[in-house]
């Protein structure tokens, strides 16, 4: 188990280095480009298998205990350690990252985005995977920060070099916002490490903030929370996200929504909640207020983009929907209750599956039509997907109803638990305020249903195909291979939520009680 976790974290970096080397003559296939893309599929596939093996070997009877741990001294003067481990909180995110990266590599093998050499593309994809996996596996504050920052460079270049119109400006905005947030976050992490005398996240969580004064905790949570909120993204620190998603290539959008946003919310659960509980208790109502505002704001922005004549980009609409969905995650965390935090962790996974699928589908539509403009898709040339590409239309409708939180699909449980927890927040929090936040969240669910059903009606139920217009290609075999796991897991998580909640709940209970061991 130790080896498996270390392999999962290190293998993407080794694979990235190998991708930049010349392919051996016997493995080149039809071309060097094909060889390096196949290399990406192979490496990410092996990492996914290792993550699955790690899951099978995980002691599911004790998910609150850190498992597969490695703890080696690295910088003795600062007591920085190479400390790795997984529990019921981090394991699902680790597997989600490995799965989405593999599906993106598989999709890119058949549909490589336009841009420079595939060598750099595959190498950046693997470096991005290494950073995200390390973020969920490291248990040292300094290494967590390094892994957290590591993903910025590959994502910047994926957007700037392989993105669409406005890619350089969008990539610049992405790196500027996240770097500024990270500088503030680093100050908070250093404050905790210096005041507590250790950067070890397990020791700090076990201590439960008893070695830190309330003022230190509040300052640390404010600094760390700002950095995490930018990455989440929390309203009003979200404005980099729509531009980044709109300009990014399909696989970039999938990984940005499915994995990178989860790093922010994971940081709240892994660092802020257990290490600085008094600081979180002080600032939780403000976090909940911003979360509720984000839920309503994101839904209203999507409604504005969905209306006829607005020239709304479908990728941009899905990006704004992420602001609303991640608002439910933050609201669940801000309740400071096991129910709310479990709902947040469930919503994290559900959003990664469903929004990843949505961005795959919108990318496929853009490939076929040359645009993701809703007015164009629903205009005179109308998509009318049910009649022209029925399988593509059915998948888009499925992803939309999953995203709006239809009971029986993954999107339902996280939002329901977050709202339920807001009805009865942790002791000491203003229940009247949280009831208002719950009502705003409920309004957000109605608005979410409204804009997603408008999108389905306009794109899938358009007019008949004009005479003389060519047929639209339906779902291709490689697309089906990349999308089917996301569909299956969305249904599985919706019908059997206990599979995921059984992993997270014991770990959350122990984390909130003051310890991870």
Predicted pLDDT at 517? 43
Furthest-apart CA atoms within the chain: distance in Å? 75
| pLDDT digits 0-9 by tens, 197-214 | 888 888 888 887 787 888
175-200: per-residue pLDDT in tens? 888 888 888 999 999 999 888 888 88
pLDDT of residue 252 exceeding 60, the answer is yes
Residue whose token pair is 């597969």: 68
Give the DSSP letter of residue 465: P
CA distance 458 to 467: 20
Q: What is the pLDDT of residues 415-458, one digit of tens each?
A: 999 999 999 998 888 999 999 999 999 999 999 999 999 888 88
Residue 216 has pLDDT above 60, yes or no: yes
Q: Tokens for 393?
A: 């239309």
Whole-structure pTM over 0.85, yes or no?
yes
Nearest residue to 94 (alpha-carbon basis) of 505, 503, 510, 404: 503
Query: For 464-512, what is each residue's pLDDT tens digit?
Result: 555 555 567 778 889 999 999 999 999 999 999 999 998 999 999 888 8
Q: Which residue's entry shows tokens 């705003």?
A: 440
Residue 502: closest CA among 91, 51, 96, 132 = 91
Tell me the pLDDT band of 338, cut-offs 50, 70 and 90.
Answer: very high
| The predicted structure's pLDDT at residue 466 | 57
Read off the pLDDT of each residue in 149-164 and give the average, rounded to a whole number. Answer: 89
The predicted pLDDT at position 434 comes to 92
Tell whether the model's pLDDT for residue 381 goes beyond 60.
Answer: no
The pLDDT of 52-71, averaged and rounded, is 88
Of the listed ranges 23-32, 352-361, 409-418, the one predicted with least confidence: 23-32
For position 54, what pLDDT does the model report? 93
3-state secondary structure of 149: helix
Q: Which pLDDT score, from 0 to 100, does residue 243 have? A: 87
In which band, very low, low, confident or very high, does the pLDDT at 514 lie, cut at 50, 70 and 90? Answer: low
* Mean confidence (pLDDT) of the chain: 88
Residues 119-151 pLDDT 10s: 899 999 999 999 999 999 999 999 999 999 899
Name every residue whose Cβ is closer than 8 Å to that of residue 498 and which is 6 or more positions away in sequence: none
Tens-place pLDDT, residues 86-125: 999 999 999 999 999 999 999 999 888 887 888 899 999 9
């Amino acid at each position: 188990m130790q080896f498996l976790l270390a392999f999962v974290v290190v293998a993407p970096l080794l694979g990235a280095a190998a991708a930049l080397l010349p392919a051996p003559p016997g493995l080149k296939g039809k071309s060097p480009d094909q060889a390096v893309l196949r290399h990406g599929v192979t490496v990410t596939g092996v990492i996914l298998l290792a993550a699955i093996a790690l899951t099978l070997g995980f002691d599911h009877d004790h998910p609150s205990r850190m498992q597969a741990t490695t703890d080696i001294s690295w910088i003795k003067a600062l007591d920085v350690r190479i400390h790795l481990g997984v529990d019921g909180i981090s394991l699902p995110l680790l597997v989600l990252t490995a799965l989405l990266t593999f599906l993106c590599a598989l999709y890119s093998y058949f549909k490589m985005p336009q841009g420079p050499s595939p060598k750099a593309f595959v190498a950046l994809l693997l470096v991005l995977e290494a950073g995200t996996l390390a973020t969920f596996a490291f248990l040292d504050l300094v290494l967590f920060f390094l892994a957290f920052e590591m993903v910025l460079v590959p994502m910047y270049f994926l957007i700037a070099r392989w993105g669409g119109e406005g890619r350089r400006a969008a990539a610049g905005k992405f790196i500027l916002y996240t770097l500024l947030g990270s500088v503030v976050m680093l100050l908070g992490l250093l404050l905790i490490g210096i005041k507590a005398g250790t950067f070890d996240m397990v020791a700090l969580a076990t201590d439960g903030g008893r070695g830190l004064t309330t003022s230190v905790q509040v300052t640390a949570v404010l600094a760390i929370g700002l950095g995490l909120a930018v990455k989440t993204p929390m309203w009003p620190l979200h404005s980099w996200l729509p531009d980044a998603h709109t300009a990014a290539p399909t696989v970039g959008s999938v990984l940005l929504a499915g994995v990178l946003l989860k790093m922010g919310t994971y940081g709240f659960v892994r660092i802020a909640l257990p290490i600085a509980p008094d600081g979180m208790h002080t600032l939780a109502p403000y976090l909940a207020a911003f979360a509720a505002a984000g839920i309503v704001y994101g839904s209203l922005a999507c409604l504005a983009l969905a209306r006829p004549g607005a020239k709304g980009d479908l990728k941009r609409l899905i990006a704004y929907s992420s602001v609303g969905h991640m608002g439910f995650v933050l609201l669940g965390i801000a309740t400071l209750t096991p129910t709310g935090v479990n709902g947040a962790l469930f919503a994290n996974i559900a959003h990664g599956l469903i929004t990843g699928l949505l961005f795959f589908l919108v990318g496929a539509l853009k490939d076929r039509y040359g645009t993701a403009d809703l007015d164009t898709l629903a205009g005179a040339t109308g998509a009318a997907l049910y009649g022209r590409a029925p399988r593509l239309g059915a998948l888009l409708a499925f992803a939309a109803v999953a995203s709006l939180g239809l009971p029986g699909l993954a999107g339902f449980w996280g939002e329901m638990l977050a709202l339920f927890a807001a009805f009865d927040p942790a002791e000491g929090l203003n229940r009247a305020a949280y009831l208002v936040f719950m009502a705003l969240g409920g309004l957000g669910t109605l608005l979410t249903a409204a804009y997603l059903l408008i999108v389905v009606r306009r794109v899938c139920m358009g007019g008949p195909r004009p005479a003389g217009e060519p047929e639209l290609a339906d779902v291709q075999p490689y697309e089906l291979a990349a999308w089917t796991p996301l569909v299956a897991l969305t249904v599985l998580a919706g019908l059997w939520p206990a599979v995921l909640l059984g992993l997270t709940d014991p770990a959350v209970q122990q984390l909130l009680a003051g310890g991870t061991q």
